[in-house]
Amino acid sequence: MPTAAPSPLLSDSLRGLGLDTGTLFFALNYEFTKIEPKGFLKRFKKDKSAVDIDLACVLYDDNCIISDIVWFKQLRDKAESVKHQGDSLNGKDRGEQAMYLAPLDQEQIRLELEEIPLHITHIALIANSYHGHSLSRVKKGEIHLSDDEGNRCFEVNLKQLPRDCKTLWVAHLRRSVDDWHLTLQNLPLSAEDLSKAAQEVAHELARALPIPQGI
């Protein structure tokens, strides 16, 4: 049976969390949410846009420099160890099997941890609203991370995010000696697109690096 999601303050090694350390799935599941224009614009045209949420995995070296980004513009990293399973534009365009609460997630990124190049030390898991709508405007939805056995280590309820959150640093994976350490961040970012968000996270990771002795 899959395990229940833990406390939102989660931070531990993958083995400590009881996860299979071979394969992880960073996934998104949300209900189609149409956005109607407000005020003056509503009189002149009918806006058919909907909330479009994108997932990304950003790979950094031990100096917190971006090595690779897996997202809708690049579906796999150079080593093919991290693979995006396909972009959804509105939460319902991938068929009935990938609707909210259906068997499949609308978006999913597969991480084969044993195949990730050794120079990769950090991986940031990020979610972004493509059209700039607040992530919490979805009717229902969540982001989660699970292993190949279906065990979930966390689940982020999109409705509980701050109203102005358009980009979220969901979690951070850090390579340790013989495992990966996972920290659930749940940190809203100021960047409004994924490429800038990756740079913002790089800055935050660098700030947390230990200061070399003798300086």
Domain CATH number, residue 106: 2.60.60.30
Residue 151 inside a domain? The answer is yes
> What local confidence, expressed as pLDDT, does residue 64 receive?
96
The model's pTM is: 0.85
What are the φ/ψ torsions at residue 29 (nearest 5 degrees)?
-145, 120
Nearest of 11, 25, 55 to residue 151 by alpha carbon:
25
Residue 136 inside a domain? The answer is yes
Residue 65 inside a domain? The answer is yes
131 by Cβ neighbours in 10 Å (0-12 / 13-18 / 19+) ranks as: middle
> What local confidence, expressed as pLDDT, does residue 46 receive?
47
Contact assessment for residue 13 and residue 105, using Cβ atoms and an 8 Å cutoff:
no
> What local confidence, expressed as pLDDT, does residue 85 receive?
87
Residue 167 inside a domain? The answer is yes
- Tokens standing for residue 42: 């509503």
Please give the torsion angle defined by the CA atoms of residues 89, 95, 100 and 106, in that order, rounded to the nearest 10 degrees.
-50
Residue 12 inside a domain? The answer is no
* Overall number of domains in the chain: 1
pLDDT, one tens digit per residue, over 94-145 is: 445 445 565 567 889 999 999 999 999 999 999 999 999 999 999 999 999 9
159 pLDDT above the threshold of 60: yes
Residue 141 inside a domain? The answer is yes
Residue 7 inside a domain? The answer is no
Per-residue pLDDT band for 3 (boundaries 50, 70, 90) equals very low
50 pLDDT above the threshold of 50: yes
Q: How far apart are CA 199 and CA 58, in angstroms?
A: 10
Supply the range of the domain harboring residue 169. 19-33+48-207
Residue 41 inside a domain? The answer is no
